[in-house]
Amino acid sequence: MTEEPQYPTSIGTSTRDTISLLGHDVAGDLLGNVTFGELAFWLVAKRRPTPGEGRVFEAVLVSLADHGFTPTAIAARLTYYSAPDSIQGAIAAGLLGGGSRFLGVTEDTGRYLHEIVAGLPAEASGWGDDEWNVVAVEALERAKAEGRRVPGLGHPVHKDGDPRTPVIIRIATEAGTRGPHLSLFEAIGRMQREVLGKNLPLNGAGVGGAALADLGLPVEMLRGFALLARTAGLVGHINEERLNPVGPAIYASVDRNAVYVPPTDEQSREGE
């Protein structure tokens, strides 16, 4: 028999008399002194946000919390309708749609910008619009040549501009957290029409990703923050579904318009 391994963590521990979180006494230091949003930042960054950072972080979470009847909200509502005893299952079902297509823009934009920013010289922090425009044009042209989409551009509904975009930039500027990721993303916003030949304004999910990356949060975790924000929206949707359900009508509408189509030869041979 072997001795048990040890499991290191910097998050939480407790003794008979104390609960410690991130090296602080939960009861004495944290409760009432830190907002939930600030704690969420702290749990990942492993340092307390400054008031300005906290303000930007909360604003981005608020901007991502809900977008109405998205596929993920519908999936959560249908799951609640099928299994009302298990709210955790309905929330989990909603979060599981948080992948590349719908909830991934925040992370994708943060990662994309971070890759470029990481290769810039130290003096980039002092650059003005002209220098950033040059970097943006290079990045846009590279993406165009490779046939790759630049994440965070365009929105299916807000075709003339996402109303969240200027507000998040303003909050970050006021809070003093506007850094290279937002500077580059704004430059991309200025230059995209010229390079790409159609107008694809910066969307709010992308700006949120840029703003979070400027806070020094790891870009690998940006999807995690988007999922946290969306959890609040899902709890709201599930509560509505409890009081005033739409799941049964959605199900009935789909079921009544189902049309049986015999499998084609192509389908049954597909993969051969």
Element (H, E) at 57: helix 51-64
Contact 74, 177 (CB under 8 A): no
Buried/exposed 178-197: b ≥16 CB within 10 Å, e otherwise = bbbbbbbbbbbbebbeebbe
Contacts with a copy of itself in 101-120 (CB under 8 A)?
101-103, 114
Our finding on whether 40 is near a copy of itself (CB under 8 A) is yes
The token pair that represents 94 in the structure block: 């909603």
Interface mask (CB under 8 A) for a copy of itself, residues 168-207, using x and -? x--x--------------------------------x---
43 CA to centre of own chain: 17
Element (H, E) at 19: strand 19-21
Q: Looking at residue 36, what DSSP letter applies? A: H
Shortest Cβ distance from residue 165 to a copy of itself (Å)? Answer: 8
Shortest Cβ distance from residue 39 to a copy of itself (Å)? Answer: 5
Neighbouring-strand partners of residue 24: 21
15 CA to centre of own chain: 35
If you search the block for the tokens 């090296």, which residue do you land on?
23
Our finding on whether 92 is near a copy of itself (CB under 8 A) is yes
Neighbouring-strand partners of residue 19: 14
Nearer to a copy of itself, 22 or 140 (CB): 22
Nearer to a copy of itself, 50 or 144 (CB): 50
Shortest Cβ distance from residue 189 to a copy of itself (Å)? Answer: 16
Contacts with a copy of itself in 233-252 (CB under 8 A)?
233, 235-240, 242-244, 246-247, 249-252
Using CB under 8 A, pick the residue from 12, 115, 176, 193 that binds a copy of itself: 12
Element (H, E) at 64: helix 51-64
If you search the block for the tokens 């993406």, which residue do you land on?
143
Applying CB under 8 A, the site for a copy of itself has a residue count of: 142
Contacts with a copy of itself in 118-137 (CB under 8 A)?
none
Interface mask (CB under 8 A) for a copy of itself, residues 43-72, using x and -? xxxxx-------x--xx-xxx-xxxxxxxx
The token pair that represents 246 in the structure block: 């739409």
Nearer to a copy of itself, 144 or 158 (CB): 158
Shortest Cβ distance from residue 236 to a copy of itself (Å)? Answer: 3
